Amino acid sequence: MATDFITKPGSPPVVRARVKNHIELKRYRDFLTEIAFVDGLTQIPNRRRYDEFLDTEWRRAIRQESSLSMILMDIDHFKQFNDTYGHLEGDRCLQEVAAALEKTLHRPADLAARYGGEEFACLLPETDMTGAMHLAEKLRTAIEQLKLPHKSSLTAEYVTISVGVSSVMATTEQTSEDLFKLADKALYTAKETGRNKVVSANDCGD
């Protein structure tokens, strides 16, 4: 759809000005699109971007008959952290955790996102359970090594995360929600059995 037009004969200064305006408009629209998918606090992809990415990669995995893995993470005893240190420090904690997660992911195809509150998610295209578990442990260790003090934690003296991992060969008989439910169940198990650990959906039973 045309948004502008230039009458003939065209004036070079007018043409240049209008071209510049359209370039700036395009940049602004791209900027708005970009920030719509970024979490304002942590500056990593947000839930909206996660949902879009999951939908895209799920359909791709079905077409390619490949595996897709998910890692769900929750900061242990985060309410107690906020109660002890205040919400400003809580925000800083979220920012440092998010940065460490994103730094630990090395493949451009992988996505780390803030799922909501103190929960984060990673999506790993063309990754099986073995690969996902290996990365999940690296993520858990990366947070532990930040050594962010958490004196009110019932798990450790520093901030830690609990992690649930799922991996499936995508088929039309399943949905991406199935992948999430498996990871969420594994995360629940990790929190119920001591926290600061990685649990595979394969180890959760029916």
Is 164 in contact with 189 (CB distance < 8 Å)?
A: yes
> Residue 83's Cα: distance from chain center in Å?
25
Left (φ > 0), alpha (ψ -120 to 50) or beta: where does 196 sit? Answer: left
What are the backbone angles phi and psi of residue 51, rounded to the nearest 5°? -60, -45
Predicted local confidence at residue 25, as pLDDT: 46
Predicted local confidence at residue 13, as pLDDT: 65
Predicted local confidence at residue 34, as pLDDT: 52
118 is catalytic: yes
Q: How many CA atoms lie within 13 A of 5 on its CB side?
A: 4
Q: How far apart are CA 194 and CA 199, in angstroms?
A: 11
Is 202 in contact with 129 (CB distance < 8 Å)?
A: yes
Closest Cα to residue 152, out of 74, 78, 73?
78
Cβ neighbours around 151 below 10 Å, total: 10
Going from the C-alpha of 129 to that of each of 28, 68, 83, 202, the distances in angstroms are 41, 9, 36, 9
What is residue 124's three-state secondary structure? strand
Query: Can you read off the two tokens belonging to residue 141?
Result: 């260790």
Predicted local confidence at residue 42, as pLDDT: 96
DSSP 8-state code for residue 167: E
Going from the C-alpha of 178 to that of each of 27, 127, 175, 202, the distances in angstroms are 38, 16, 5, 13
Predicted local confidence at residue 14, as pLDDT: 56
Predicted local confidence at residue 36, as pLDDT: 85
* Tens place of pLDDT per residue across the chain (206 aa): 445 555 555 566 655 655 555 455 445 454 434 558 899 999 999 999 999 999 999 999 999 999 999 999 999 999 999 999 999 999 999 999 999 999 999 899 999 999 999 999 999 999 999 999 999 999 999 999 999 999 999 999 999 999 999 999 999 999 999 999 999 999 999 999 999 999 999 988 65
Predicted local confidence at residue 37, as pLDDT: 87
- Bridge partners of 168? 68
Helices 87-104 + 129-144 axis angle, to 10: 140
Is 48 in contact with 118 (CB distance < 8 Å)?
A: no
What is the pTM assigned to this prediction?
Answer: 0.83
Q: Which of 57, 102, 118, 119 is catalytic?
A: 118
